[in-house]
Amino acid sequence: MGLKVDRRQLLKAGAFGLGALATPGAAQILAARGFTHNVASGEPRQRSVMLWTRYVPEGAERVDYEVASDADFGRIVARGSVAPDPERDFCLKPIVRGLRPGRTYFYRFRAGNQTSPVGRARTLPEGPTARFNVAVFSCANLPGGWFNAYGHAAARDDIDLVLHLGDYFYEYQEGRYPRGRPSLPGRVLDPQSEVVHLADYRLRYAAYRADPDLQRLHQMFPMVMMWDDHESANNSWSGGAENHQPASEGPWEVRKAAAMRACREWLPVSDENWESYEIGDLATIFRPETRLTGRSQPPGYFGALAGEADIVAGLTRFRDGAWRDPARTMLGAAQEAWLANGLRRSARQGTKWQVIAQQVVMGHAALPTQIANWLTPQASAELRVQVQIGVAAGRLGLPFTLDTWDGYPAARDRLLRAALDADANLVVLSGDSHNAWAFDLSLDGTPAGAEFAGQSVTSWGYESYLPWVDPADLARAMVGFNRGLKWAETGRRGYMTVALTPAHASAEWLFLDTVLERSTRIAARHGMASVRGTNRLA
């Protein structure tokens, strides 16, 4: 069911790549006129799709759009017009209706004597569906590397939908992340300061959206996306963030609103905090929001151990108390109810798979004890303390990070219980960690689902914290120590594809050979699957 099209025909249909700013600077971005950032599509349904472009007027007051069933625009099936609005940063997001299910369409915008590049979109299928392919991305840090994963996927014709699980950009100032690594030549970050205000968020999106590989991905496939933390601030939650200082950066609610607004301006995404998408009778894809609306403040080991003379005693009290607090939530009560009801409805109507495409790893992962033996004299004092606490926590059954579902075990249990009660065939897709993982999800020993967690596009993973350790050794140690973790890869960047059929949900992790220069060569692949009816990895 992939998008089959003659690329030469598409190239003829419009000015491919018009307006791309491969190495933007703030002045160049702000001075741009006309169609500044190519085109995009998103929020596909059976009979509609959202289109996106940005047009800074050069005299034209309205922008027309056309949708056709052929790349030459000989069979136009829909048209309309929209007005650029400076209050929305000139971003246009018309929704085209009256389309047919499971069809490929081509679209373009016109304003005066200018024509945008031609984009390609596909509606979701209806009824019996034999196969559906999604490409899954997360964690793209522009100064840290080239977006080769986007470029590789954009050249494919077998993808029906792109899922972006967050960290579409990073809010840090120039030089903050990755720390100690200079930005690559040509990877210009704007603004160079930390992103705090609405104008900052808009400019950061403009800088990222100028990347030609990201533009091409958006141009070729519809996207469903939800932010993680870095679209606002690191380790964000509903009431704050680790990387937000109210005294110098103002109220969190103002910053959070600015981050949410800019995302919804600059991307073809729904204004709803959570959504679901029906893939014929094959799957329901649920797209929750796990950061800014319902997430309780995450706990932290340093806070839990404050004033404690005995690390083990302090961690034990934390494990048996605050860590298990059922009041702490990732989704909030309203979203938990929505998801539970959706899982039940989807399973009862006979849909084959229930897929949750969300931001952070759901499986349990603790730090293996042998990590402590791998520290070298070059290890910093900070890393030594973190490893000491992590190893002690792992011995007590606590995870190595509390910013994932591992930090909210009661909320995770409620979600998995809802899936089991619904008799769902659960697949969880996750991002955020920068590394690749495959988990069996279970509740009290009962298989509850399979999790495929994708590696980052460019952001450095665990290999950057322990650079003297072979990533393969680290992965083996993690798998050996964690019962539900069935496979891991902790040293390479890329993306993941997931193929859904009535019998199988199959993931393939694709690892690029480098992100330090432009290349779309695949250096390695790995595949895993779940058989429908088992709620576990095969």
Q: Where are the alpha helices (DSSP H) in 227-332?
A: 246-249, 252-266, 301-304, 311-320
- Give yes or no for residue 17 having a pLDDT over 80: no
Q: What span, in angstroms and rounded, lies between the C-alpha atoms of 360 and 150? A: 20
- Give yes or no for residue 205 having a pLDDT over 90: yes
Look at residue 40 and give its three-state secondary structure. strand
Mean pLDDT for 511-517 is 96
Tokens 């109810």 map to which residue? 337
Q: What span, in angstroms and rounded, lies between the C-alpha atoms of 505 and 439? A: 14
What separation, in Å, do the N-terminal and C-terminal C-alpha atoms of the chain show?
A: 24
- Give yes or no for residue 90 having a pLDDT over 60: yes
Which one, of 82, 104, 80, lies nearest residue 93 by Cα? Answer: 82
pTM: 0.94
Q: pLDDT tens digit string along 209-262?
A: 999 999 999 999 999 999 999 999 999 999 999 999 999 999 999 999 999 999
Mean pLDDT for 151-169 is 98
- Give yes or no for residue 359 having a pLDDT over 70: yes
Mean pLDDT for 195-216 is 97
Q: What span, in angstroms and rounded, lies between the C-alpha atoms of 511 and 124? A: 28
pLDDT-based confidence at residue 20 (cuts at 50, 70, 90): very low
- 3-state SS, 177-228, equals CCCCCCCCCCCCCCCCCCCCCHHHHHHHHHHHHCCHHHHHHHHHCEEEECCC
Q: Is the peptide bond before 86 cis (omega within 30 degrees of 0)?
A: no
- pLDDT of 377 reads 84
- pLDDT of 5 reads 39
Length of the chain: 538
Contact 99, 79 (CB under 8 A): no
Residue 205 sits at φ, ψ, to 5 deg, of -60, -40
Q: Count Cβ atoms within 10 A of the Cβ of residue 413 and give its class: 0-12 exposed, 13-18 middle, 19 or more buried.
A: middle
- pLDDT of 439 reads 98
Contact 293, 271 (CB under 8 A): no
Which one, of 194, 216, 358, lies nearest residue 290 by Cα? Answer: 358
Mean pLDDT for 253-277 is 98
- pLDDT over 70 percentage in the chain: 95
Contact 426, 356 (CB under 8 A): yes
Instruction: Say which DSSP state 323 is in.
Output: G
Q: pLDDT tens digit string along 58-77?
A: 876 899 999 999 999 999 99
* Widest distance between CA atoms in the chain: 76
Residue 281 sits at φ, ψ, to 5 deg, of -95, 10
- pLDDT of 22 reads 43
Contact 422, 343 (CB under 8 A): yes
- Give yes or no for residue 3 having a pLDDT over 70: no
Instruction: Say which DSSP state 534 is in.
Output: T
- pLDDT of 29 reads 78
- Give yes or no for residue 178 having a pLDDT over 90: no
Bridge partner residues of 528 (DSSP) = 507
Q: What span, in angstroms and rounded, lies between the C-alpha atoms of 255 and 501? A: 42
Describe the crossing of helices 212-220 and 198-209 by its angle, rounded to 10 degrees: 80
pLDDT-based confidence at residue 24 (cuts at 50, 70, 90): low
Mean pLDDT for 311-337 is 97
Which one, of 84, 217, 123, 240, lies nearest residue 162 by Cα? Answer: 217
Which of 346-350, 351-355, 467-471, 508-512 is least confident? Answer: 467-471
Which of 97-111, 163-177, 367-381 is least confident? Answer: 367-381
- Give yes or no for residue 12 having a pLDDT over 70: no
Q: What span, in angstroms and rounded, lies between the C-alpha atoms of 140 and 214? A: 10
Domains and CATH numbers, the chain: 1-123 (2.60.40.380)
Bridge partner residues of 509 (DSSP) = 496, 526
Q: pLDDT tens digit string along 382-435?
A: 889 999 999 999 999 999 999 999 999 999 999 999 999 999 999 999 999 999
Q: pLDDT tens digit string along 429-483?
A: 999 999 999 999 999 999 999 999 999 999 999 888 888 899 999 999 999 999 9
- Give yes or no for residue 6 having a pLDDT over 60: no
What is the DSSP secondary-structure string of 397-460?
T--S-SSSGGG-HHHHHHHHHHHHHTT--EEEEE-SSSSEEEEEEEETTEEEEEEEEPPPSS--
pLDDT-based confidence at residue 361 (cuts at 50, 70, 90): very high
Which one, of 452, 533, 457, 531, lies nearest residue 486 by Cα? Answer: 452
Mean pLDDT for 119-136 is 98
Which one, of 106, 110, 76, lies nearest residue 10 by Cα? Answer: 106
Mean pLDDT for all residues in the chain:
93
- pLDDT of 193 reads 95
> Among the ranges 13-27, 174-188, 260-274, 454-468, which has the highest mean pLDDT value?
260-274
Residue 532 sits at φ, ψ, to 5 deg, of -60, 135
Q: What span, in angstroms and rounded, lies between the C-alpha atoms of 162 and 469? A: 33
- Give yes or no for residue 265 having a pLDDT over 50: yes
Look at residue 278 and give its three-state secondary structure. strand
